[in-house]
A and B are shown apart, each in its own frame.
Chain A
């Protein structure tokens, strides 16, 4: 009986080691279990609403940035763009314009900056880190130019409805985040475009030789990242109830941390939207749980740093496990081939390799 339990545990451990998403989910589960045991306020509906509402902006932007990072890109401009789009929407709304028009303006500005990033990276061959660092400064400057009196208040009374309202107890920001994550999940996992993104991240030259329109795909990725940031800006500014050009400082790092925690490889070619959602929730629940159990702020920095490092180590560990498993499978299939030299087994072997890659 005991040996069966051990065997089950061992095989479960192997699954965990070979699957980054499972590992991230495991970390999330352990975190939630720990905070549930240490704070009676943690596992409550109100707190779940609180955390998911808070992490919705990271999920919205993170979903788009996941694709960018899978394709070996990087978008550092999202934090400043969040501020610029947010204050633009607030500024337009404060003049009594229809709220939806102000939302559209914010999303359009996001798309404009996304297109600018795409043009710089694709058209002018500027490295993503430099291009988006430049637009980061432009967007922040624009945010301050839109609001010369620093913070915009006196917005219409229904301004906060989107950010604070809910549908059947599910906050609107969460619904928006889920819809956007589902869209990007579908785009990445179920379309040719998604396969092209993985191909570019895996090996750009091979992708080019295979006929992938790399310039078009990368441009669209930055465009979508800007669009998603525009949407997140509307959600966040609505939650805050004001237009503040200082928001979003360090937001790009929150997004990148969530994407990495979710298993997207820094080297590109690997990653999933589900992982990014789990990564965002890990960061959200960690900060929230530490506050609920009253951990001092300085220790919270330490805990968050440890979580990030642990996740990256886990990433390396699971990656090595996967590549070892892949080699083992290749060797096995080669052995089978040598033994049988049966055309059927060649077909099986090839299809198996295709599955792995």
Chain B
């Protein structure tokens, strides 16, 4: 009724045309501004980026954040350059078994591809066993490997505790073994792992620095797309918070939701988070699937733009990087979980183990490098860690 009074029938067409024309003018006027704002945001993200860990502006703001829980043996690496590839390898001519948690994930697919390249280069036979992220399949793989009796094994545990008897089985079969990625609960063999807390802390530092530069004076409200049953993920979350609150001491976590670590579950979880707390302007995804689910959720509610806030994650896989490279995206901070480094370090460690140059306590704690969000930075990261065939 009110509308009818304000807008008589005969003027509907004229009014619609006027609104359309006004909208077109507005859109034309705003398009360069928003495009400029987006490229400006990308430039800000690149200029506020640092490869160094930040120190807390207010130590009280981070005092209650728990420290690392997954690093059972500390994070001191055995001396040596474990990432440099040697001219010759003790693995040449040998039969090597490599297990991966799941080839469906870009990280493990890249690890496997790096190992295939190493096998070609150093002329050893490689068999890859896919754990499919399933405890039963991993156990079956363990039995199959022992039956096959390879010369050495690079083993990716699915779980810190369940891996202990599996490694003991390898050792009982007298097969040299090193583990990579998830760290076994007991010290049984040499191992490669990453410092999830420190790696995510650098993501938090860069996300916080960008937030301060892009949204000065705005209160930061954090949402987390989580996977709340793994110690490594707890480290990622707490590391991010430590880094972000070091830069933005007044930031508040409003909610964590369970995104399941996969995109189709992260999407509804992130949608619920954004419904429950429309004020959220910072979201941390515990991996790229979580951040990509958030991207889809932001798109669905029309908030996907550089002016919405900051999206940050850890992983550094191709799909995540493709979104971070978009100038319109709020995805502006990421640390890379380096598949190339894991493959090279495990390869070198396995070689040393075959030569009996290691002890069960030998460990390599890898860095978790922050990725420069500029096109050159993203490209350099992908080229080194996710080379395309």
Interface residues, chain A, with chain B CB atoms under 8 Å away? 39, 41, 44, 46-47, 50, 53-54, 144, 148-154, 160, 163-164, 236, 239-242, 244-249, 251, 287-288, 291-294, 296-298, 300
In angstroms, Cα B319 to Cα A149, docked, is 10
Other A-B pairs, 11, CB within 8 Å; known A154-B322, A288-B268, A291-B272: A39-B276, A50-B300, A50-B301, A152-B319, A240-B296, A241-B299, A242-B292, A246-B104, A246-B105, A291-B257, A297-B228
Contact B272 A151 (CB under 8 A): no
Contact A246/B262 with A151-B317, A291-B257 known, Cβ cut-off 8 Å: yes
If A153-B319, A240-B264, A241-B295 touch, whether A46 touches B301 (CB-CB below 8 Å) is yes
Q: Which residue of chain B is the closest to A243 with respect to CB atoms?
A: B319
**Residues of the B chain whose Cβ atoms lie less than 8 Å from the Cβ of A236:** 264
The majority secondary structure among interface residues of chain B is helix
- Nearest CB of A to B208, in Å: 24
Give CA–CA (A46, B272) in the complex, Å: 11
Residues of A within 8 A of B263 (CB): 151, 240, 242, 244, 246-247
Q: Which residues of B approach A to under 8 Å, CB–CB?
A: 103-106, 109, 226, 228-229, 255-258, 262-264, 267-269, 271-273, 275-276, 278, 289, 292-293, 295-296, 299-301, 317-319, 322-323, 388
The list of the 9 closest CB pairs from A to B, nearest first, reads A297-B258, A291-B272, A247-B264, A150-B106, A151-B319, A292-B276, A153-B319, A54-B268, A153-B322
Question: B276 to A149, Cβ gap below 8 A?
Answer: no
Chain B residues with Cβ below 8 Å from A240 are 263-264, 267, 292-293, 296
How far does the alpha carbon of A164 sit from the alpha carbon of B273 in the complex, in Å? 17
A54 proximity list for chain B (CB < 8 A): 267-268, 271
Contact flag A151-B295 (CB < 8 Å), given A246-B262, A246-B263: no
Contacts of B267 in A (CB 8 A): 54, 239-240
Contacts of B256 on A, CB cut-off 8 Å? 297
Our pick among B104, B271, B272 for the contact of A144 (Cβ within 8 Å) is B104
A153 contacts B271, C-beta separation under 8 Å: no
B300 CB contacts on chain A under 8 angstroms: 50, 53, 163-164, 239
From B257, B299, B322, contact of A160 by CB (8 A) = B299
The residue in B106, B226, B268, B388 that gathers the most chain A C-beta atoms within 10 A of its C-beta is B268
**A147 — nearest CB in chain B belongs to which residue?**
B104
Contacts of B273 in A (CB 8 A): 291
Say whether A50 contacts B275, CB under 8 Å. Answer: yes
Bound-state Cα–Cα, A71 to B298, Å? 41
- 17 of the cross-chain contacts (CB-CB < 8 Å) are A41-B276, A47-B275, A50-B275, A54-B268, A149-B109, A149-B388, A150-B317, A151-B317, A151-B319, A153-B318, A153-B322, A242-B263, A246-B104, A246-B262, A292-B275, A293-B276, A298-B229
CB distance from A299 to the nearest CB of B (A): 11
| B228 / chain A contacts, CB cutoff of 8 Å | 296-298
Question: Is B275 in contact with A247, judged by CB distance below 8 angstroms?
Answer: no
CA distance A82 to B106 in the complex (A): 20
A242 to B289, CA, bound (A): 11
Among B256, B272, B301, chain A packs the most CB atoms within 10 A around the CB of B272
- Shortest Cβ gap from B130 to chain A (Å): 9
A151 to B269, CA, bound (A): 20
User: Given the complex, which residues of A lie within 8 Å of B317, measured CB to CB?
Assistant: 150-151
Task: Give the residue of B258, B268, B295 whose beta carbon is less than 8 angstroms from that of A300.
Answer: B258
Q: Which of A152, A153, A164 contacts B299 (CB 8 A)?
A: A164
What is the chain B residue whose CB lies nearest that of A143?
B104
Q: Which of B229, B276, B322 contacts A291 (CB 8 A)?
A: B276
Residues of A within 8 A of B257 (CB): 291, 297
Contact status B268-A246, CB under 8 Å: no
Contacts of A292 in B (CB 8 A): 272, 275-276
Q: How far is the CA of A296 from the CA of B257 in the complex (A)?
A: 8
Closest to B295 in A: A241
User: Contact between B264 and A151 (Cβ–Cβ < 8 Å)?
Assistant: no
Is there contact, CB below 8 Å, between A248 and B264? yes
Q: Is the beta-carbon distance between A46 and B275 smaller than 8 angstroms?
A: yes
Closest chain B residue to A236 by CB distance? B264
Q: Which residue from A242, A246, A297 sits with its C-beta under 8 Å from B226?
A: A297
Q: A291 contacts B104, CB within 8 Å?
A: no
Write out the residue numbers on chain A whose beta carbons fall within 8 Å of the beta carbon of B109.
148-150
Give min CB distance, B387 to chain A, whole Å.
Answer: 11
Q: Name which residue of chain B comes closest to A289, CB basis.
A: B272
Least CB distance from B389 to A in Å reads: 8
Q: Chain B's nearest CB lies how many Å from the CB of A121? A: 26
Residues of A within 8 A of B255 (CB): 291, 294
Cα A54 to Cα B228 in complex, Å, equals 22
Whole-angstrom CA separation of A299 from B219 in the bound complex? 30
In the complex, the chain A residue whose C-beta lies closest to that of B269 is A291
B262 in contact with A288 (CB, 8 Å)? no
Write out the residue numbers on chain A whose beta carbons fall within 8 Å of the beta carbon of B269. Answer: 291
Residues on the A chain within 8 Å of B271, using CB: 50, 54
- With a cutoff of 8 Å between Cβ atoms, the chain B residues found around residue A152 in the complex are 319
Pairwise interchain contact A150-B293, C-beta atoms closer than 8 A: no
What is the chain A residue whose CB lies nearest that of B130?
A144
Q: Which residues of A lie under 8 Å from residue B278 when comparing CB positions?
A: 41
CB of B327, distance to nearest CB on chain A (Å): 14
Cβ of A236 to closest chain B Cβ, rounded Å: 7
| Shortest Cβ gap from B259 to chain A (Å) | 9
What is the chain B residue whose CB lies nearest that of A248? B264
Q: Are B104 and A245 in contact (CB under 8 A)?
A: yes
| Cα-based distance from A245 to B319 in the complex (angstroms) | 13
A249 touches B299 (CB 8 A): no
Does the CB pair B106–A41 fall under 8 Å?
Answer: no
Query: Are A144 and B103 neighbours in the complex by a CB distance under 8 Å?
Result: yes
Q: Is the CB of A150 within 8 A of B264?
A: no
Considering the complex, give the chain A residue whose CB is closest to the CB of B256: A297
Option from A47, A239, A294 in Cβ contact (under 8 Å) with B296: A239
Chain B residue with Cβ nearest A291: B272
